[in-house]
Amino acid sequence: MKTPRRHLTPLLLVLLLGLGIGFVAPRSDTFFALQKHFRIFGALYETLVTDYIDPIDPGRLMRKGIDAMLAELDPYTTFFDEADRGEIELLTRGRYGGVGLNVGLRNGRLTVLAPIEGTAGYRQGIRTGDIITHIDGQPTDGLSLETVRQMLRGQPGTTVTLTIEREGEPLPLQFVLTREEVQLKNVTYVGFLNDDTTEGLGYIRLERFALGAGEEVRRAIEQLQAAGPLRGLVLDLRDNPGGLLEAAVEVAGLFVPQGAPIVSTRGRTPDRTRVYRNESAPLYPDLPLVVLVNELSASASEIVAGAIQDLDRGLIVGTNTYGKGLVQIIRPLPYNTALKLTTAAYYTPSGRSIQAIDYSRHDGHGQLVPDSLRRTYYTRNGRVMRDGHGIEPDVVVAPPEPGPLEAALRRQAAFFFFANHYVARHPEPPTPDVRVDDRILQEFRAWLHSRNFDYQIAAEHTLASLETQLEAADYTQALAALQNVRDALARAKKAAFEREADALRRQLRQELLARYLSPEQRTRYLLADDPVVQRAAELLRDTRTYAALLSPN
């Protein structure tokens, strides 16, 4: 990064700041402050780089300064240096150069969570559960996920060598993968619930809002209509973190009336205040619709859900959304860098703000919007809605809370690693739909025992604290009485395996499906056991309840 020189005039510095990014001259007082502080910053930066006792990396120092400035703002305003340019392609177009592996840390080791179907890693046989020990000969122990991402991604046509440990294989495996353009799909699953084309309840999973999302949803619905009569649709936006505002407008525009407002933005300057309307006739104006959301549905997902809800076009089912109601644009900066910048807030058709956290204090710490400041709004039919907490569903359906044993097994990734163990010994699935029977469940129990699995529940922590206090007070009799409590807790934990057996079967089946079947097959089988999807189907079948929920109380 080029070092600013003292001989540059304040005016030239300001012009450089605005070069290529739509600079608009601010008011005179702001303009003076900008000149003054920019000159101070430039002089300080140059002095440090040229005169400090030890050599300083100019680029690293500048990045530290940038990060410190942005830390005062909301978490969505971020700087991309030249090495991060691929992230912009991923955010906007859903594509990047790489080998198509989703990775994460499991028990501290770099593990393949899922290869993306059709990519280099998938085609060459890398599997869910594989442990990557080396990348181009460099050990992966201690590497951050950000570093791993940079090592796996790169210019299409280049290669990367992975060394992998796989359960059941006596020696490490080596894969030489050629990086290619990985194009992520917006729509990742299309089908009829229960594979029943006669009933006609369609299901679409939309995982992101990159370029072309609206067209993908339109084609998905046409695919369903070509297979049989479409009498209702479930649009699944759970875990969808959002993406392009324009893509959200396109998706909502498939369903809402022509001319209807979908979302509005309000910013600091007049050019940031705008109402986005559906400019064309909807393709599916009367199709009964249920949109699924959860706490990870954010941004563009909330735009779609908010428009559908405010216009009474369909029902929202699930749990409260994330509450990200801030709009970002990407501004190019010199030397192939860029800034993702928050410029406005967005609002649903009724005027509701979706933003759940207030960052306006600019101290790096957001504050939850208190209930006392939440305002009331009304949908087109007159239903009462409130702002400030994301999108609240019309019908709340939450996944079952895990029991203590299931939660402990999840934390230790036990289901994940047992699935590796099981598949290594059973190359063929136990049944075509990979049902977990008593034999598999007992094999899992024996596997846990062989690894000395144990866990503590909250009551044990409370008991340990009480024992410490009683010992300090020398209450011997009371300490002896606590042994009965310890014994009862031990019995309860031992019985937990039977008590939580159904939940353990579900978790095991999810992991085994990911190893035996394709992503599409896996999704089809899991939908049948998904309580949120099944509730959505019930609402689409029950036309009277569906209509009543869209009417004011």
* Residues annotated as part of the active site: 299, 310, 324
Return the number of other C-beta atoms located less than 10 Å from residue 50's C-beta: 10
d(CA 440, CA 182): 36
For residue 343, the number of C-alpha atoms closer than 13 Å in the C-beta half-sphere is 17
Token look-up 């006792």 returns 53
d(CA 416, CA 412): 9
Ordered DSSP codes for 167-221: TT-SS-EEEEEE-EEEE--SEEEEEEGGG-TTTTEEEEEE--B-TTHHHHHHHHH
CB 381 within 8 A of CB 375: no
Query: The tokens of 324 are what?
Result: 């990200």
Query: The tokens of 183 are what?
Result: 């194009």
CA-to-CA separations, 18 to 10, 30, 52, in angstroms, rounded: 13, 15, 30
Return the number of other C-beta atoms located less than 10 Å from residue 338's C-beta: 19
CB 374 within 8 A of CB 353: no
Residue type, 184: L
Most distant CA atoms of the chain, gap in Å: 83
Strands 180-183 and 95-98: antiparallel
3-class secondary-structure state, position 137: coil
Q: Determine whether 452 is exposed, middle or buried from the number of CB atoms within 10 Å of its CB (0-12, 13-18, 19+).
A: exposed
CB 188 within 8 A of CB 204: no
Query: What are the backbone dihedrals phi and psi of residue 552, each rounded to the nearest 5 degrees, phi first?
Result: -65, 150
Strand order in the sheet with 201-206: 187-192, 201-206, 232-236, 289-293, 315-318, 395-396
d(CA 492, CA 57): 59
d(CA 2, CA 16): 13
